[in-house]
Amino acid sequence: VNVQAVCPAGASTYSQTYRSYVSPYPVVETSGNWKYLKLDPDYLEGGMRIEDSSAGDIYPPMNNVLMGYDENVKAGQPFYVRDSNLEFQLKIVKPFVGTVNISPKTMFNVYVMTAAGDPLTDVVYSILYSGTVTVPQSCEINAGQTILVNFGALYSGNFNHAGQKPEGVRAKKFSVPVKCSGLDSQVNLTMRLIATPDSHVPQAIASDNADVGVVVETDEGNALIPNDAQSVAPFITDSAGRANITLQAYPVSTTGETPAEGAFTALASLRVDFD
């Protein structure tokens, strides 16, 4: 890490420094000295080891680690933060199909202090992570094409009970064909919903009409709650890795207020996981 820091002149009597490695995420698992943080909601954890020329191996998060001495500290001059050989360990805690994308996030903020327990004010450097993890097993849903569910013409005045579908409206069934590769035989899989939930009715997908949401259910009538890894439609592929899943969807009132007239759209993605 090619980073320098400066402390106020005279702040350290003995020119020593301490460092704290602070994460916005809690430690969810440990293994020996390694501390693992949750990197995404469902599948991945990560841990880090850092070498320091004075302190040796560091396994963050850690606070008030004594880092040795440098005369520039007492003099108020720049000195090097000698972290090096950062090793990142990635752990798959739930098997998945296809790809998991990790958007850029801060894993650790690093602070330098002249005394243990000093307030952590200025970040000296940050450790960020991002990436893509792909496994050989993959599934294609509807040959990669969008599935459109058209509810037809609806009477806005019937959207009058929050969380319920309008009177006279039936759930619309639709088929979701799946083709998986990299699987040796019949496999138990699940399908779940990734979407923006409505703020008033969380089991519904938010639409571009604030008073209308869309609920998606299994063929048996169990709601697929957006972004809930436990709310799934289980299925089994055939020996060729194929399956056809039947789902159903219907609009609901989200506020109990009469919605503005006109077309509305709600968007969601479907994800396949190992059961």
Domain locations along the chain: 3-134, 138-274
**Contact 15/71 with Cβ under 8 angstroms?**
yes
Question: Helices (H), strands (E): how many in the chain?
Answer: 1, 19
Look at strands 3-5 and 83-92 and give their pairing. Answer: unpaired
**Burial (CB count <10 Å: 0-12, 13-18, 19+), residue 166:** buried
pLDDT computed for residue 2 by the predictor: 84
DSSP SS3 for 142: helix
pLDDT computed for residue 232 by the predictor: 97
Enter the tokens of residue 151.
Answer: 């509810």
Beta strands, E only, the chain: 3-5, 16-22, 27-31, 34-38, 44-52, 56-58, 62-69, 79-81, 83-92, 99-113, 123-134, 138-141, 172-181, 188-195, 205-206, 212-218, 233-236, 242-253, 268-274
Count of beta carbons in the 10 Å neighbourhood of residue 205: 25
CATH number of 138-274: 2.60.40.1090
Residue type present at position 241? G
Residue 107 CA: distances (Å) to CA of 58, 86, 118, 219:
15, 13, 22, 41
Residue type present at position 108? F
- Residues in the chain predicted with pLDDT less than 50, given as ranges, are none
pLDDT computed for residue 68 by the predictor: 83
pLDDT computed for residue 198 by the predictor: 98
pLDDT computed for residue 66 by the predictor: 92
DSSP SS3 for 112: strand
pLDDT computed for residue 54 by the predictor: 85
Tell me the whole-structure pTM to 2 decimals: 0.77
Tokens 């650790």, located at residue: 108
Q: Is the peptide bond before 251 cis (omega within 30 degrees of 0)?
A: no
pLDDT computed for residue 184 by the predictor: 76
Enter the tokens of residue 200.
Answer: 């008033």
pLDDT computed for residue 9 by the predictor: 86
